[in-house]
Structure 1
Amino acid sequence: MADLESILEFMVDIASQAGDVIVEMRASSKVSHNYKQGIELVTNSDLAADKLITDAIHEHFPNDQILAEESNPDLQSLRYSDSPIWVIDPIDGTVNYAHHHHQVAISIAYVVKGKIQAAVVYNPFLSEVFSAIRQKGAWLNDQPIRCSATTELNRAIIATGFPYDKSQQLNQLMHRLHKVLEQCADVRRLGSAALDICWVALGRLDAYYESVSPWDCAAGWLIAKEAGARCGYFIEPNETVTHELHSENLLIATPALYDSLKTILREAQL
Protein backbone atom coordinates (compact mmCIF):
# COMPACT_ATOMS: atom_id res chain seq x y z
CA MET A 1 0.00 0.00 0.00
CA ALA A 2 1.22 3.47 -0.84
CA ASP A 3 2.07 5.88 1.98
CA LEU A 4 -1.33 7.13 3.13
CA GLU A 5 -0.10 10.55 4.24
CA SER A 6 1.20 11.17 0.73
CA ILE A 7 -2.00 9.78 -0.77
CA LEU A 8 -4.06 12.14 1.39
CA GLU A 9 -1.93 15.12 0.42
CA PHE A 10 -2.50 14.26 -3.26
CA MET A 11 -6.25 13.89 -2.65
CA VAL A 12 -6.51 17.27 -0.94
CA ASP A 13 -4.59 18.90 -3.79
CA ILE A 14 -6.77 17.52 -6.59
CA ALA A 15 -9.96 18.22 -4.61
CA SER A 16 -8.78 21.81 -4.17
CA GLN A 17 -8.10 22.14 -7.89
CA ALA A 18 -11.52 20.72 -8.73
CA GLY A 19 -13.09 23.08 -6.21
CA ASP A 20 -11.46 26.06 -7.89
CA VAL A 21 -12.89 24.93 -11.22
CA ILE A 22 -16.48 24.55 -10.07
CA VAL A 23 -16.43 27.80 -8.09
CA GLU A 24 -15.06 29.75 -11.07
CA MET A 25 -17.54 28.20 -13.49
CA ARG A 26 -20.48 29.13 -11.29
CA ALA A 27 -19.18 32.62 -10.58
CA SER A 28 -18.73 33.32 -14.28
CA SER A 29 -22.12 31.86 -15.27
CA LYS A 30 -20.55 29.12 -17.37
CA VAL A 31 -22.70 26.33 -15.93
CA SER A 32 -24.96 24.39 -18.28
CA HIS A 33 -27.54 21.78 -17.26
CA ASN A 34 -28.49 18.35 -18.56
CA TYR A 35 -30.36 15.34 -17.17
CA LYS A 36 -29.26 11.71 -16.97
CA GLN A 37 -32.11 9.34 -17.86
CA GLY A 38 -34.22 12.48 -18.02
CA ILE A 39 -34.28 12.72 -14.21
CA GLU A 40 -30.89 13.27 -12.55
CA LEU A 41 -29.35 16.71 -12.95
CA VAL A 42 -25.77 16.90 -14.22
CA THR A 43 -23.83 20.04 -15.15
CA ASN A 44 -20.80 20.68 -17.29
CA SER A 45 -19.04 21.54 -14.02
CA ASP A 46 -19.56 17.94 -12.83
CA LEU A 47 -17.92 16.72 -16.02
CA ALA A 48 -15.03 19.20 -15.82
CA ALA A 49 -14.26 18.32 -12.19
CA ASP A 50 -14.53 14.60 -12.92
CA LYS A 51 -12.05 14.91 -15.80
CA LEU A 52 -9.58 16.94 -13.75
CA ILE A 53 -9.58 14.42 -10.91
CA THR A 54 -9.51 11.26 -13.02
CA ASP A 55 -6.79 12.63 -15.32
CA ALA A 56 -4.60 13.36 -12.29
CA ILE A 57 -5.13 9.85 -10.91
CA HIS A 58 -4.37 8.24 -14.28
CA GLU A 59 -1.15 10.28 -14.48
CA HIS A 60 0.11 9.53 -10.97
CA PHE A 61 -1.41 6.08 -10.35
CA PRO A 62 -1.87 4.51 -13.81
CA ASN A 63 -2.51 0.99 -12.51
CA ASP A 64 -5.29 1.95 -10.08
CA GLN A 65 -9.01 1.54 -10.71
CA ILE A 66 -11.52 4.40 -10.66
CA LEU A 67 -15.19 4.45 -9.72
CA ALA A 68 -16.50 7.90 -10.65
CA GLU A 69 -20.08 9.10 -10.87
CA GLU A 70 -19.71 10.70 -14.29
CA SER A 71 -16.95 8.82 -16.12
CA ASN A 72 -17.17 5.27 -14.68
CA PRO A 73 -20.20 4.66 -12.48
CA ASP A 74 -20.27 0.85 -12.88
CA LEU A 75 -19.54 -0.73 -9.49
CA GLN A 76 -19.68 -4.18 -11.08
CA SER A 77 -16.65 -3.36 -13.21
CA LEU A 78 -14.37 -3.20 -10.18
CA ARG A 79 -12.10 -5.96 -8.95
CA TYR A 80 -11.63 -6.19 -5.18
CA SER A 81 -8.01 -7.22 -5.45
CA ASP A 82 -4.67 -5.64 -4.58
CA SER A 83 -5.34 -2.89 -7.11
CA PRO A 84 -6.49 0.27 -5.27
CA ILE A 85 -9.81 1.89 -6.17
CA TRP A 86 -10.48 5.64 -6.21
CA VAL A 87 -14.12 6.51 -5.57
CA ILE A 88 -15.03 9.97 -6.83
CA ASP A 89 -18.02 12.28 -6.73
CA PRO A 90 -16.90 15.43 -8.56
CA ILE A 91 -19.87 17.41 -7.20
CA ASP A 92 -21.94 15.96 -4.41
CA GLY A 93 -24.98 18.22 -4.19
CA THR A 94 -25.33 19.05 -7.87
CA VAL A 95 -28.86 20.42 -7.39
CA ASN A 96 -27.54 22.69 -4.62
CA TYR A 97 -24.69 23.76 -6.88
CA ALA A 98 -27.00 24.58 -9.79
CA HIS A 99 -29.22 26.66 -7.49
CA HIS A 100 -26.33 28.62 -5.97
CA HIS A 101 -26.50 26.96 -2.56
CA HIS A 102 -23.28 26.43 -0.59
CA GLN A 103 -23.86 22.82 0.54
CA VAL A 104 -21.66 21.32 -2.19
CA ALA A 105 -18.64 19.02 -2.01
CA ILE A 106 -15.97 17.16 -3.93
CA SER A 107 -15.68 13.66 -2.45
CA ILE A 108 -12.71 11.32 -2.97
CA ALA A 109 -12.05 7.99 -1.23
CA TYR A 110 -9.05 5.67 -1.60
CA VAL A 111 -9.93 1.99 -1.19
CA VAL A 112 -7.61 -1.01 -0.90
CA LYS A 113 -8.89 -4.60 -0.75
CA GLY A 114 -12.41 -3.37 -0.11
CA LYS A 115 -11.42 -1.15 2.84
CA ILE A 116 -11.50 2.65 2.71
CA GLN A 117 -8.02 3.86 3.68
CA ALA A 118 -8.06 7.63 3.12
CA ALA A 119 -10.76 10.18 2.39
CA VAL A 120 -11.34 13.82 1.53
CA VAL A 121 -14.60 15.78 1.35
CA TYR A 122 -14.06 19.39 0.32
CA ASN A 123 -16.62 22.19 0.33
CA PRO A 124 -14.99 24.96 -1.75
CA PHE A 125 -17.73 27.47 -1.00
CA LEU A 126 -17.13 27.30 2.75
CA SER A 127 -13.39 26.46 2.55
CA GLU A 128 -13.90 23.31 4.63
CA VAL A 129 -11.66 20.29 4.03
CA PHE A 130 -12.77 17.15 5.87
CA SER A 131 -10.23 14.35 5.77
CA ALA A 132 -9.31 11.04 7.40
CA ILE A 133 -6.79 8.23 7.37
CA ARG A 134 -7.83 4.79 8.56
CA GLN A 135 -6.97 4.27 12.25
CA LYS A 136 -5.29 7.68 12.44
CA GLY A 137 -8.22 10.06 12.93
CA ALA A 138 -10.35 12.62 11.15
CA TRP A 139 -9.85 16.33 10.66
CA LEU A 140 -11.52 19.54 9.52
CA ASN A 141 -8.92 21.91 8.05
CA ASP A 142 -6.19 19.89 9.83
CA GLN A 143 -7.87 20.13 13.26
CA PRO A 144 -9.04 16.86 14.88
CA ILE A 145 -12.80 16.33 15.00
CA ARG A 146 -15.18 14.10 17.01
CA CYS A 147 -18.84 13.28 16.67
CA SER A 148 -21.37 14.61 19.17
CA ALA A 149 -21.93 13.19 22.64
CA THR A 150 -25.72 13.34 22.33
CA THR A 151 -27.36 10.50 24.27
CA GLU A 152 -31.07 11.32 24.07
CA LEU A 153 -32.85 10.74 20.78
CA ASN A 154 -35.41 13.45 21.54
CA ARG A 155 -32.52 15.96 21.55
CA ALA A 156 -30.97 14.71 18.31
CA ILE A 157 -30.86 16.37 14.88
CA ILE A 158 -31.09 13.72 12.17
CA ALA A 159 -30.27 14.17 8.48
CA THR A 160 -31.57 12.25 5.50
CA GLY A 161 -32.19 12.69 1.79
CA PHE A 162 -34.39 11.47 -1.03
CA PRO A 163 -33.62 9.99 -4.47
CA TYR A 164 -34.26 11.74 -7.77
CA ASP A 165 -36.81 9.13 -8.74
CA LYS A 166 -39.33 8.82 -5.90
CA SER A 167 -42.10 7.18 -7.92
CA GLN A 168 -41.55 3.69 -6.50
CA GLN A 169 -40.46 4.61 -2.97
CA LEU A 170 -42.38 7.64 -1.77
CA ASN A 171 -44.67 5.84 0.68
CA GLN A 172 -41.74 4.02 2.26
CA LEU A 173 -39.60 7.17 2.44
CA MET A 174 -42.33 9.20 4.10
CA HIS A 175 -43.29 6.43 6.53
CA ARG A 176 -39.67 6.11 7.62
CA LEU A 177 -39.32 9.89 7.97
CA HIS A 178 -42.53 10.05 10.00
CA LYS A 179 -41.28 7.43 12.46
CA VAL A 180 -37.91 9.15 12.90
CA LEU A 181 -39.43 12.60 13.29
CA GLU A 182 -41.77 11.28 16.00
CA GLN A 183 -38.75 10.37 18.13
CA CYS A 184 -36.05 12.99 17.43
CA ALA A 185 -35.76 16.74 17.98
CA ASP A 186 -35.78 17.59 14.27
CA VAL A 187 -34.77 16.45 10.79
CA ARG A 188 -32.58 18.16 8.20
CA ARG A 189 -32.43 17.59 4.45
CA LEU A 190 -29.37 19.54 3.28
CA GLY A 191 -28.80 18.09 -0.19
CA SER A 192 -25.29 16.58 0.02
CA ALA A 193 -24.87 13.11 1.49
CA ALA A 194 -21.10 13.51 1.74
CA LEU A 195 -21.45 16.67 3.81
CA ASP A 196 -24.32 15.26 5.88
CA ILE A 197 -22.02 12.44 6.95
CA CYS A 198 -19.12 14.81 7.62
CA TRP A 199 -21.45 16.96 9.72
CA VAL A 200 -22.19 13.87 11.84
CA ALA A 201 -18.42 13.47 12.20
CA LEU A 202 -18.15 17.07 13.36
CA GLY A 203 -21.19 17.04 15.67
CA ARG A 204 -23.26 19.49 13.63
CA LEU A 205 -25.67 16.57 13.19
CA ASP A 206 -26.23 13.58 15.44
CA ALA A 207 -27.13 10.97 12.82
CA TYR A 208 -27.78 10.37 9.14
CA TYR A 209 -29.66 7.66 7.21
CA GLU A 210 -30.31 7.16 3.51
CA SER A 211 -29.72 4.89 0.53
CA VAL A 212 -27.27 6.46 -1.92
CA SER A 213 -24.50 5.53 -4.37
CA PRO A 214 -20.97 4.56 -3.27
CA TRP A 215 -19.41 7.82 -4.47
CA ASP A 216 -21.85 9.79 -2.30
CA CYS A 217 -20.79 8.17 0.95
CA ALA A 218 -17.43 6.37 0.72
CA ALA A 219 -15.23 9.27 1.83
CA GLY A 220 -17.69 10.49 4.45
CA TRP A 221 -17.99 6.97 5.88
CA LEU A 222 -14.31 6.85 6.83
CA ILE A 223 -14.32 10.43 8.13
CA ALA A 224 -17.30 9.73 10.39
CA LYS A 225 -15.87 6.42 11.57
CA GLU A 226 -12.53 7.98 12.44
CA ALA A 227 -14.38 10.75 14.30
CA GLY A 228 -15.99 8.18 16.58
CA ALA A 229 -19.37 7.67 14.90
CA ARG A 230 -20.87 4.23 14.38
CA CYS A 231 -21.23 3.42 10.69
CA GLY A 232 -23.44 0.62 9.45
CA TYR A 233 -26.82 -0.25 7.99
CA PHE A 234 -30.36 -0.31 9.34
CA ILE A 235 -30.96 -3.25 7.01
CA GLU A 236 -27.85 -5.40 6.82
CA PRO A 237 -26.46 -6.12 3.35
CA ASN A 238 -26.29 -9.60 1.92
CA GLU A 239 -23.59 -11.66 3.62
CA THR A 240 -21.72 -11.89 0.30
CA VAL A 241 -20.88 -8.16 0.54
CA THR A 242 -17.31 -8.01 1.81
CA HIS A 243 -16.37 -4.44 0.94
CA GLU A 244 -17.12 -1.00 2.39
CA LEU A 245 -18.69 0.43 -0.75
CA HIS A 246 -22.16 -0.92 -0.03
CA SER A 247 -24.32 2.19 0.13
CA GLU A 248 -27.93 1.11 0.69
CA ASN A 249 -29.77 1.63 3.99
CA LEU A 250 -26.89 3.55 5.54
CA LEU A 251 -27.02 4.55 9.19
CA ILE A 252 -24.28 6.75 10.63
CA ALA A 253 -24.77 8.06 14.14
CA THR A 254 -23.17 9.14 17.37
CA PRO A 255 -22.72 5.84 19.27
CA ALA A 256 -25.38 6.32 21.94
CA LEU A 257 -28.12 6.82 19.34
CA TYR A 258 -27.20 4.13 16.82
CA ASP A 259 -29.10 1.14 18.19
CA SER A 260 -32.34 2.98 18.89
CA LEU A 261 -32.33 4.59 15.44
CA LYS A 262 -31.61 1.27 13.80
CA THR A 263 -34.61 -0.25 15.55
CA ILE A 264 -36.90 2.63 14.51
CA LEU A 265 -35.77 2.43 10.87
CA ARG A 266 -36.04 -1.35 10.68
CA GLU A 267 -39.53 -1.32 12.19
CA ALA A 268 -40.57 1.39 9.72
CA GLN A 269 -40.24 -1.01 6.77
CA LEU A 270 -43.53 -1.34 4.93
Structure 2
Amino acid sequence: MSDWKEIAKFAQEIAHEAGNLIRQEREQQTVSLNYKTHQELVTSADLKSDQLIRSRIQQRFPEHQILSEELAPDYSSPELLQSQLWIIDPIDGTVNYARNHQMCAVSIAYAEAGQVRVGAVYCPFLEELFHVIQGEGSYLNAKQLQITMQTELRSALIGTGFPYNREERPKLIPKFQKMLESCGDIRRIGAASLDICWIAAGRMDGFFETLSPWDFAAAQLVVREAGGKIGHIGEVPPNVPPELYGLDLIVGAPAIFDEMQQVLRSA
Protein backbone atom coordinates (compact mmCIF):
# COMPACT_ATOMS: atom_id res chain seq x y z
CA MET A 1 0.00 0.00 0.00
CA SER A 2 1.27 3.45 -0.89
CA ASP A 3 1.67 6.28 1.61
CA TRP A 4 -1.68 7.97 0.95
CA LYS A 5 -0.90 10.93 3.23
CA GLU A 6 2.23 11.70 1.25
CA ILE A 7 0.31 11.34 -2.01
CA ALA A 8 -2.52 13.54 -0.70
CA LYS A 9 -0.11 16.30 0.30
CA PHE A 10 1.49 16.13 -3.14
CA ALA A 11 -1.90 16.15 -4.90
CA GLN A 12 -2.96 19.25 -2.97
CA GLU A 13 0.30 21.00 -3.81
CA ILE A 14 0.03 20.42 -7.54
CA ALA A 15 -3.69 21.27 -7.54
CA HIS A 16 -2.78 24.63 -6.01
CA GLU A 17 0.09 25.09 -8.46
CA ALA A 18 -2.08 24.29 -11.48
CA GLY A 19 -4.91 26.44 -10.12
CA ASN A 20 -2.60 29.40 -9.73
CA LEU A 21 -1.36 28.86 -13.28
CA ILE A 22 -4.82 28.93 -14.85
CA ARG A 23 -5.81 31.96 -12.77
CA GLN A 24 -2.70 33.85 -13.92
CA GLU A 25 -3.27 32.86 -17.54
CA ARG A 26 -6.78 34.33 -17.43
CA GLU A 27 -5.75 37.47 -15.57
CA GLN A 28 -2.98 38.12 -18.09
CA GLN A 29 -5.41 37.49 -20.99
CA THR A 30 -3.05 35.03 -22.64
CA VAL A 31 -5.62 32.26 -23.13
CA SER A 32 -6.30 31.00 -26.65
CA LEU A 33 -9.30 28.85 -27.63
CA ASN A 34 -9.66 25.74 -29.80
CA TYR A 35 -12.25 23.00 -30.21
CA LYS A 36 -12.09 19.23 -29.93
CA THR A 37 -14.77 16.87 -31.25
CA HIS A 38 -18.46 17.73 -30.78
CA GLN A 39 -17.60 21.41 -30.28
CA GLU A 40 -15.88 20.65 -26.97
CA LEU A 41 -13.81 23.67 -26.00
CA VAL A 42 -10.14 23.37 -25.03
CA THR A 43 -7.95 26.33 -24.09
CA SER A 44 -4.21 26.89 -24.04
CA ALA A 45 -4.53 27.01 -20.24
CA ASP A 46 -5.99 23.46 -20.23
CA LEU A 47 -2.90 22.23 -22.04
CA LYS A 48 -0.46 24.15 -19.85
CA SER A 49 -2.17 22.92 -16.68
CA ASP A 50 -2.18 19.36 -18.00
CA GLN A 51 1.52 19.54 -18.86
CA LEU A 52 2.39 20.94 -15.42
CA ILE A 53 0.45 18.25 -13.52
CA ARG A 54 1.74 15.40 -15.68
CA SER A 55 5.35 16.54 -15.40
CA ARG A 56 5.13 16.83 -11.61
CA ILE A 57 3.64 13.34 -11.30
CA GLN A 58 6.15 11.79 -13.69
CA GLN A 59 9.05 13.35 -11.77
CA ARG A 60 7.77 12.21 -8.37
CA PHE A 61 6.18 8.87 -9.26
CA PRO A 62 7.65 7.70 -12.59
CA GLU A 63 6.18 4.20 -12.17
CA HIS A 64 2.58 5.48 -11.90
CA GLN A 65 0.11 5.73 -14.79
CA ILE A 66 -1.80 8.90 -15.72
CA LEU A 67 -5.32 9.22 -17.12
CA SER A 68 -5.89 12.79 -18.31
CA GLU A 69 -8.71 14.48 -20.17
CA GLU A 70 -6.34 16.21 -22.58
CA LEU A 71 -4.05 13.24 -23.32
CA ALA A 72 -6.33 10.35 -22.44
CA PRO A 73 -5.36 6.76 -23.21
CA ASP A 74 -8.09 4.17 -23.68
CA TYR A 75 -9.65 4.12 -20.22
CA SER A 76 -11.58 0.94 -21.02
CA SER A 77 -8.35 -1.01 -20.36
CA PRO A 78 -8.83 -3.13 -17.19
CA GLU A 79 -5.06 -3.17 -16.63
CA LEU A 80 -4.88 0.63 -16.62
CA LEU A 81 -7.83 1.02 -14.25
CA GLN A 82 -6.31 -1.45 -11.77
CA SER A 83 -2.87 0.19 -11.78
CA GLN A 84 -1.41 2.93 -9.58
CA LEU A 85 -3.29 5.59 -11.49
CA TRP A 86 -3.60 9.38 -11.42
CA ILE A 87 -6.83 10.71 -12.92
CA ILE A 88 -6.65 14.40 -13.77
CA ASP A 89 -8.76 17.14 -15.26
CA PRO A 90 -6.55 20.22 -15.72
CA ILE A 91 -9.60 22.49 -15.96
CA ASP A 92 -13.05 21.11 -15.19
CA GLY A 93 -15.53 23.68 -16.46
CA THR A 94 -13.52 24.95 -19.43
CA VAL A 95 -16.44 26.92 -20.89
CA ASN A 96 -16.93 28.68 -17.56
CA TYR A 97 -13.21 29.38 -17.44
CA ALA A 98 -13.14 30.83 -20.95
CA ARG A 99 -16.14 33.07 -20.22
CA ASN A 100 -14.68 34.48 -16.99
CA HIS A 101 -16.97 32.56 -14.65
CA GLN A 102 -15.64 31.48 -11.26
CA MET A 103 -17.03 27.94 -11.30
CA CYS A 104 -14.14 25.86 -12.64
CA ALA A 105 -11.59 23.65 -10.93
CA VAL A 106 -8.47 21.53 -11.16
CA SER A 107 -9.35 17.92 -10.27
CA ILE A 108 -6.73 15.33 -9.27
CA ALA A 109 -7.40 11.79 -8.02
CA TYR A 110 -5.12 8.89 -7.17
CA ALA A 111 -6.40 5.31 -7.43
CA GLU A 112 -5.05 1.86 -6.63
CA ALA A 113 -6.68 -1.45 -7.61
CA GLY A 114 -9.64 0.41 -9.10
CA GLN A 115 -10.42 2.37 -5.92
CA VAL A 116 -9.83 6.09 -5.50
CA ARG A 117 -7.68 6.62 -2.41
CA VAL A 118 -6.91 10.36 -2.59
CA GLY A 119 -8.60 13.37 -4.16
CA ALA A 120 -8.10 17.11 -4.53
CA VAL A 121 -10.47 19.53 -6.29
CA TYR A 122 -9.30 23.14 -6.29
CA CYS A 123 -11.31 26.17 -7.41
CA PRO A 124 -8.69 28.94 -7.63
CA PHE A 125 -11.18 31.76 -8.16
CA LEU A 126 -12.93 30.99 -4.87
CA GLU A 127 -9.76 29.70 -3.16
CA GLU A 128 -11.60 26.52 -2.16
CA LEU A 129 -9.73 23.24 -1.93
CA PHE A 130 -11.80 20.09 -1.44
CA HIS A 131 -9.47 17.29 -0.34
CA VAL A 132 -9.85 13.75 0.87
CA ILE A 133 -8.03 10.57 1.89
CA GLN A 134 -9.94 7.30 1.91
CA GLY A 135 -11.03 6.48 5.45
CA GLU A 136 -10.04 9.86 6.91
CA GLY A 137 -12.94 12.14 6.01
CA SER A 138 -13.19 14.93 3.47
CA TYR A 139 -12.47 18.62 3.90
CA LEU A 140 -13.06 22.04 2.40
CA ASN A 141 -9.84 23.88 3.20
CA ALA A 142 -9.52 23.13 6.95
CA LYS A 143 -13.21 22.35 7.63
CA GLN A 144 -14.38 18.74 7.74
CA LEU A 145 -17.43 18.11 5.56
CA GLN A 146 -20.71 16.41 6.44
CA ILE A 147 -23.36 15.53 3.86
CA THR A 148 -26.67 17.36 3.94
CA MET A 149 -29.39 15.65 5.95
CA GLN A 150 -32.04 16.34 3.31
CA THR A 151 -34.73 13.68 3.71
CA GLU A 152 -37.23 14.56 0.96
CA LEU A 153 -36.53 14.65 -2.76
CA ARG A 154 -39.41 17.08 -3.29
CA SER A 155 -37.44 19.69 -1.31
CA ALA A 156 -33.98 18.79 -2.65
CA LEU A 157 -31.69 20.90 -4.82
CA ILE A 158 -30.29 18.68 -7.57
CA GLY A 159 -27.43 19.34 -9.98
CA THR A 160 -26.91 18.05 -13.50
CA GLY A 161 -25.15 18.85 -16.77
CA PHE A 162 -25.48 18.40 -20.51
CA PRO A 163 -23.13 16.70 -23.01
CA TYR A 164 -21.12 18.67 -25.56
CA ASN A 165 -22.37 16.34 -28.29
CA ARG A 166 -25.72 17.82 -29.36
CA GLU A 167 -26.85 14.43 -30.68
CA GLU A 168 -26.66 13.03 -27.15
CA ARG A 169 -28.70 15.80 -25.50
CA PRO A 170 -32.21 14.51 -26.38
CA LYS A 171 -31.49 11.33 -24.40
CA LEU A 172 -31.16 13.42 -21.25
CA ILE A 173 -34.45 15.29 -21.61
CA PRO A 174 -36.77 12.56 -20.21
CA LYS A 175 -34.53 12.14 -17.15
CA PHE A 176 -34.30 15.90 -16.68
CA GLN A 177 -38.09 16.28 -16.91
CA LYS A 178 -38.76 13.44 -14.46
CA MET A 179 -36.32 14.85 -11.94
CA LEU A 180 -37.60 18.40 -12.35
CA GLU A 181 -41.12 17.12 -11.61
CA SER A 182 -39.88 15.28 -8.50
CA CYS A 183 -37.33 17.52 -6.80
CA GLY A 184 -37.35 21.03 -5.31
CA ASP A 185 -35.23 22.59 -8.08
CA ILE A 186 -32.32 21.91 -10.44
CA ARG A 187 -29.00 23.70 -10.89
CA ARG A 188 -26.40 23.49 -13.67
CA ILE A 189 -23.08 24.88 -12.47
CA GLY A 190 -21.05 23.75 -15.48
CA ALA A 191 -18.25 21.96 -13.60
CA ALA A 192 -19.19 18.44 -12.48
CA SER A 193 -16.37 18.11 -9.95
CA LEU A 194 -17.70 21.15 -8.10
CA ASP A 195 -21.33 20.05 -8.47
CA ILE A 196 -20.41 16.85 -6.66
CA CYS A 197 -18.18 18.45 -4.04
CA TRP A 198 -20.95 20.92 -3.30
CA ILE A 199 -23.11 17.97 -2.19
CA ALA A 200 -20.47 17.12 0.42
CA ALA A 201 -20.50 20.77 1.50
CA GLY A 202 -24.30 20.84 1.89
CA ARG A 203 -24.80 23.33 -0.96
CA MET A 204 -26.76 20.80 -3.02
CA ASP A 205 -28.43 17.50 -2.23
CA GLY A 206 -27.90 15.37 -5.32
CA PHE A 207 -26.51 15.16 -8.84
CA PHE A 208 -26.94 13.07 -12.00
CA GLU A 209 -25.08 13.05 -15.31
CA THR A 210 -23.00 10.85 -17.61
CA LEU A 211 -19.34 11.72 -17.08
CA SER A 212 -15.78 10.65 -17.83
CA PRO A 213 -13.55 9.41 -14.98
CA TRP A 214 -11.55 12.65 -14.76
CA ASP A 215 -14.78 14.61 -14.20
CA PHE A 216 -15.74 12.88 -10.97
CA ALA A 217 -13.03 10.53 -9.64
CA ALA A 218 -11.77 12.93 -6.95
CA ALA A 219 -15.16 14.48 -6.16
CA GLN A 220 -16.97 11.18 -5.63
CA LEU A 221 -14.52 10.25 -2.87
CA VAL A 222 -15.10 13.67 -1.28
CA VAL A 223 -18.82 12.82 -1.14
CA ARG A 224 -18.33 9.24 0.09
CA GLU A 225 -16.12 10.39 2.96
CA ALA A 226 -18.68 13.07 3.88
CA GLY A 227 -21.36 10.39 4.20
CA GLY A 228 -23.00 10.51 0.76
CA LYS A 229 -23.96 7.74 -1.67
CA ILE A 230 -22.74 7.10 -5.22
CA GLY A 231 -24.36 4.80 -7.76
CA HIS A 232 -25.78 4.49 -11.25
CA ILE A 233 -29.09 4.28 -13.07
CA GLY A 234 -28.08 0.99 -14.69
CA GLU A 235 -25.66 -1.85 -13.98
CA VAL A 236 -21.90 -1.39 -13.94
CA PRO A 237 -20.00 -3.73 -16.33
CA PRO A 238 -18.14 -6.45 -14.40
CA ASN A 239 -14.68 -5.43 -15.66
CA VAL A 240 -15.00 -1.73 -14.73
CA PRO A 241 -14.38 -0.33 -11.22
CA PRO A 242 -17.67 1.33 -10.11
CA GLU A 243 -15.77 4.35 -8.77
CA LEU A 244 -14.46 5.07 -12.27
CA TYR A 245 -17.64 4.29 -14.24
CA GLY A 246 -19.41 7.44 -15.33
CA LEU A 247 -22.39 6.30 -17.40
CA ASP A 248 -25.62 7.57 -15.78
CA LEU A 249 -23.92 8.48 -12.52
CA ILE A 250 -26.03 9.37 -9.46
CA VAL A 251 -24.72 11.12 -6.34
CA GLY A 252 -26.85 12.08 -3.39
CA ALA A 253 -27.60 12.43 0.29
CA PRO A 254 -28.36 8.96 1.72
CA ALA A 255 -32.03 9.65 2.53
CA ILE A 256 -32.93 10.70 -1.02
CA PHE A 257 -30.56 8.53 -3.07
CA ASP A 258 -32.89 5.57 -3.59
CA GLU A 259 -35.77 7.82 -4.65
CA MET A 260 -33.49 9.67 -7.07
CA GLN A 261 -32.47 6.36 -8.59
CA GLN A 262 -36.11 5.22 -8.92
CA VAL A 263 -37.15 8.49 -10.57
CA LEU A 264 -34.32 8.35 -13.10
CA ARG A 265 -34.91 4.68 -13.87
CA SER A 266 -38.56 5.44 -14.63
CA ALA A 267 -37.65 8.00 -17.32
- TM-score of the two chains, using structure 2 as the length reference: 0.97
Cα deviation for residue 82 of structure 1 reads 6.8
State the alpha-carbon separation in 2 of the partners of residues 132 and 115 from structure 1.
Answer: 13
Cα deviation for residue 237 of structure 1 reads 1.5
SS in 2 for 1:71: coil
- Tell me the residue number matched to 1:173: 172
- Say whether the 8 Å CA contact 2:38–2:165 is kept in structure 1: no
SS in 2 for 1:97: helix
Task: Summarize deviations over 1:192-250 as a string: whole Å, max 9, x none.
Answer: 00000000111100000000110000000100000100011121212332452111111
SS in 2 for 1:76: coil
- Tell me the residue number matched to 2:258: 259
- Tell me the residue number matched to 2:56: 56
Indicate yes or no: 2:92 matched with 1:103. Answer: no
Q: How many residues align?
A: 267
- Say whether the 8 Å CA contact 2:205–2:253 is kept in structure 1: yes
- Tell me the residue number matched to 1:14: 14
Task: Summarize deviations over 1:68-118 as a string: whole Å, max 9, x none.
Answer: 011234213562587410000000000000000000000000000000000
**Which amino acid in 2 is paired with 1:115?**
Q
Task: Summarize deviations over 1:164-191 as a string: whole Å, max 9, x none.
Answer: 0121x33321111111011111000000
- Tell me the residue number matched to 2:93: 93
CA separation of 1:44 and 1:261: change in aligned 2, threshold 3 A: same
**Which amino acid in 1 is paired with 2:26?**
R
Task: Summarize deviations over 1:121-141 as a string: whole Å, max 9, x none.
Answer: 000000000011111100000
Taking the TM superposition and a 5 Å limit, the aligned residue runs for 1:1-270 are 1-37=1-37, 39-77=39-77, 79-80=79-80, 83-167=83-167, 169-268=168-267
- Say whether the 8 Å CA contact 2:75–2:81 is kept in structure 1: no
CA separation of 1:218 and 1:82: change in aligned 2, threshold 3 A: closer
Structure 1 residue runs without a partner (length 5+): none
State the alpha-carbon separation in 2 of the partners of residues 38 and 154 from structure 1.
Answer: 35
Structure 2 residue runs without a partner (length 5+): none
CA separation of 1:51 and 1:77: change in aligned 2, threshold 3 A: farther
State the alpha-carbon separation in 2 of the partners of residues 21 and 65 from structure 1.
Answer: 23
SS in 2 for 1:57: helix
Task: Summarize deviations over 1:30-71 as a string: whole Å, max 9, x none.
Answer: 000000125110000000000000000000000000000112
- TM-score of the two chains, using structure 1 as the length reference: 0.96
- Say whether the 8 Å CA contact 1:80–1:113 is kept in structure 2: no
CA separation of 1:38 and 1:178: change in aligned 2, threshold 3 A: closer
**Which amino acid in 2 is paired with 1:197?**
I
State the alpha-carbon separation in 1 of the partners of residues 219 and 101 from structure 2.
Answer: 20
SS in 2 for 1:122: strand
**Which amino acid in 2 is paired with 1:198?**
C
CA separation of 1:72 and 1:239: change in aligned 2, threshold 3 A: closer
- Say whether the 8 Å CA contact 2:147–2:226 is kept in structure 1: yes
CA separation of 1:242 and 1:22: change in aligned 2, threshold 3 A: closer
